[in-house]
């Protein structure tokens, strides 16, 4: 899959080569850059060794281009929202967890949701309407 990923606010491209790039802020205000995998269901995270993340802690994600807070308020405050565009130009909403170590990704297209990751049951129980 050769999806591109866009900021929902500025429509800037978040994917560079094989990483989706975010600016992150920990609850203590410390900021850093996170490189996530563009592959859905791959939860590898690359970052500088001095930017330490603690499992279970919410880390706010921001667009590295326009600095908008990506929190998906319309869905769940623990999730961040970006846009994917597939090779046919179709746009979908992607939701990822801002909780460090929580492995779940949701792809919303119309009223359907595709789920990825071991922790996907944590959000959007059966019968959720989009």
**Interaction mask 12-31, Zn ion, x per CB under 5 A:** x-------------------
Dihedral of CA 4/34/104/78: which sign?
A: negative
Q: Closest approach of Cβ 5 to Zn ion, in Å?
A: 11
The structure tokens 């992607």 sit at 94
List, in sequence order, every beta strand (DSSP E) within the chain.
4-6, 15-16, 19-25, 31-36, 45-46, 60-62, 79-85, 91-97, 105-109, 112-116
Do residues 116 and 105 make contact, with C-beta atoms less than 8 angstroms apart? Answer: yes
**Which span (31-39, 65-73, 97-105, 111-119) binds Zn ion, by CB under 5 A?**
65-73
Least Cβ distance, residue 118 to Zn ion (angstroms): 29
**Range in contact with Zn ion (rule: CB under 5 A) among 5-13, 45-53, 54-62, 92-100:** 5-13
- 9 sits near Zn ion (criterion: CB under 5 A): yes
User: Footprint of Zn ion on this chain (CB under 5 A)?
Assistant: 7, 9-10, 12, 63, 65-66, 68
């Amino acid at each position: 899959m050769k999806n591109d990923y866009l900021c929902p606010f500025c429509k800037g491209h978040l994917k560079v080569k094989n990483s989706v790039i975010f600016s992150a802020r920990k609850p203590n205000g410390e900021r850093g850059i996170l490189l996530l995998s563009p592959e859905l269901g791959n939860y590898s995270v690359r970052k500088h060794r001095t930017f330490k993340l603690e499992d279970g802690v919410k880390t706010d994600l921001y667009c590295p281009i326009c600095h908008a807070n990506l929190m998906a308020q319309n869905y769940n405050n623990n999730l961040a929202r970006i846009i994917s565009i597939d090779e046919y130009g179709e746009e979908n909403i992607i939701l990822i967890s801002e909780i460090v170590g929580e492995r779940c990704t949701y792809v919303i297209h119309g009223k359907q949701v595709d789920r990825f990751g071991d922790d996907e049951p944590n959000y959007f129980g059966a019968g959720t309407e989009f």
